[in-house]
């Protein structure tokens, strides 16, 4: 028997991965990306004549519960109607037996691409818009558990979208989870952005694991790279922001910000020239911050007082 070459085998494998959309309203356009459970394809909705993204399980699913998890992901997304979360249109099973769901196709840039050409202020303003959908999800008892720059997209109109909720866990609004989703003790997530408790495989991971990841994303926004250890002060990172990162990424969840909004608010304080909660500034730093915030007013009053002083001096000559 003649053996097939590696390239032919690879080609056959790639062709087999193309989802069989027979009997659906969708037609494959091209491959987009690889996800944790399967692949994402650009498709055409033949009825509405619009482009959509299809997340499809791999043909050979490594775990029996993957179809249920994909459906769970679709249901979680469907329950989160928020401008910062990509909407789901449809879910089901393809003719080849693979589970899939259909979502809005987001044309835009990843966080890494977007920040490459932005200044610090623009980059920091993104954090608030990442935190909004997170807060929204947390309020509904849903934890993302895989927040990282690759899962943040900036759309064509500048909208910020939190993507890939494949590891998301739905729990009670009290935010304790563990009864569904991943198995107890399993470790899921991305190193560098994963909280210590998630890395340990703790069952009682709560929304503060996302706060840790958000802190790591803040560090990424500042440095363009994930933090390797506890964020340290460097020449390019202002001390208050390094302190915000440290607080968000504290090993003990109770020492972190208790909501994504609180973290974003502290960053907004920094942007507005106000003191941040995470950092106790010295008198000199406070004076410098106030001066930077009210520079014109300080200069005007100083000029006025100087002028007055000169008048007094000249009057005594």
CB nearer other proteins, residue 280 or residue 308 = 308
Choose, from 45, 135, 146, 210, the residue flagged as catalytic: 146
Is the CB of 233 or the CB of 290 nearer to other proteins? 290
Query: Cβ neighbours of residue 47 under 8 Å, at least 6 residues apart?
Result: 25
- Cβ(244)–Cβ(267) below 8 Å: yes
> How far apart are CB 314 and other proteins at their closest, in Å?
9
CB-count exposure of residue 274 (10 Å: 0-12, 13-18, 19+): middle
Range in contact with other proteins (rule: CB under 8 A) among 124-132, 192-200, 220-228, 309-317: 309-317
Please give the distance of CA 309 from its chain centroid, rounded to a whole number. 55
The interface region with other proteins, picked from 52-60, 171-179, 270-278, 301-309 by CB under 8 A, is: 301-309
Residues 6+ apart with CB under 8 A from 197: 204, 205, 209, 253
At residue 109, the 3 state secondary structure works out as strand
6 CB-side CA count, 13 A: 0
CB atoms within 10 A of CB 104: 16
Q: Is 304 in the site for other proteins (CB under 8 A)?
A: yes
**What number of other Cβ atoms are within 10 A of residue 146's Cβ?**
23
Dist CA 248 CA 149 (whole Å):
16
From 12-20, 197-205, 255-263, 293-301, span contacting other proteins (CB under 8 A): 293-301
Shortest distance (Å) from residue 128 CB to other proteins: 22
Which CB sits closer to other proteins, 239 or 289?
289
**Number of residues engaging other proteins in binding (CB under 8 A):** 12
Taking CB under 8 A as the rule, does residue 312 contact other proteins?
yes
Closest CA to 241 of 126, 124, 114, 149: 124
CA angle 111, 145, 123 (to 5 degrees): 25
Alpha helices in the chain (DSSP H): 6-17, 66-79, 111-115, 120-139, 196-199, 208-223, 239-248, 260-271, 283-293, 295-315
Which span (16-24, 26-34, 98-106, 305-313) binds other proteins, by CB under 8 A?
305-313
- Considering beta carbons, is residue 65 or 291 the nearer one to other proteins? 291
Q: Is 272 in the site for other proteins (CB under 8 A)?
A: no
Cβ neighbors of 313 (< 8 A, separation 6 or more) are none
Q: With binding defined as CB under 8 A, does residue 300 bind other proteins?
A: yes
164 is catalytic: no
Contact between 315 and other proteins by CB under 8 A: the answer reads yes
Which of 2, 156, 296, 317 touches other proteins (CB under 8 A)?
Answer: 296
> Closest distance between other proteins and the C-beta of residue 287, in Å?
19
CB of 272 to other proteins, least distance (A): 14
Instruction: Note whether 316 binds other proteins by CB under 8 A.
Output: yes
Three-class secondary structure of residue 225 per DSSP? coil
Q: Tell the smallest beta-carbon distance from residue 300 to other proteins (Å).
A: 5
Among 9, 172, 287, 297, binds other proteins (CB under 8 A): 297
Does position 286 bind other proteins by CB under 8 A?
no
Q: Does 317 bind other proteins (CB under 8 A)?
A: no
Query: Catalytic positions, please?
Result: 146
In the complex, which residues of this chain contact other proteins (CB under 8 A)?
296-297, 300-301, 303-304, 307-308, 311-312, 315-316
């Amino acid at each position: 028997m003649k053996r097939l070459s590696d390239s032919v085998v690879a080609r056959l494998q790639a062709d087999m991965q193309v989802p069989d959309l027979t009997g659906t309203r969708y037609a494959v356009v091209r491959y987009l990306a690889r996800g944790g459970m399967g692949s994402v394809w650009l498709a055409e909705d033949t009825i509405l004549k619009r482009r959509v993204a299809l997340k499809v399980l791999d043909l050979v699913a490594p775990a029996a519960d993957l179809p249920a998890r994909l459906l769970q992901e679709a249901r979680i997304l469907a329950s989160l109607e928020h401008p910062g979360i990509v909407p789901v249109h449809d879910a089901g099973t393809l003719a080849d037996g693979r589970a899939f769901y259909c979502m809005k196709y987001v044309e835009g840039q990843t966080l890494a691409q977007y920040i490459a050409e932005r200044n610090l202020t623009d980059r920091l303003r993104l954090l608030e818009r990442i935190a909004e959908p997170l807060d929204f999800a947390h309020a509904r008892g849903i934890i993302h558990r895989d927040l990282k720059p690759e899962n943040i997209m900036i759309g064509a109109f500048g909208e910020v979208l939190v993507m890939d909720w494949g590891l998301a866990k739905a729990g009670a609004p009290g935010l304790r989870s563990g009864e569904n989703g991943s198995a107890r003790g399993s470790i899921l997530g991305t190193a560098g952005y994963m909280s210590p408790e998630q890395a340990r495989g703790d069952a009682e991971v709560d929304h503060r694991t996302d706060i840790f990841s958000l802190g790591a994303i803040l560090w990424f926004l500042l440095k363009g790279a994930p933090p390797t250890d506890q964020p340290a002060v460097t020449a390019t990172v202002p001390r208050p922001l390094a302190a915000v990162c440290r607080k968000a990424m504290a090993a003990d969840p109770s020492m972190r910000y208790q909501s994504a909004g609180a973290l974003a608010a502290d960053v907004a304080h920094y942007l507005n020239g106000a003191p941040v909660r995470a950092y106790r500034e010295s008198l000199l730093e406070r004076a410098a911050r106030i001066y930077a915030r009210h520079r014109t007013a300080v200069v005007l009053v100083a000029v006025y007082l100087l002028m007055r002083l000169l008048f007094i001096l000249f009057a005594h000559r």
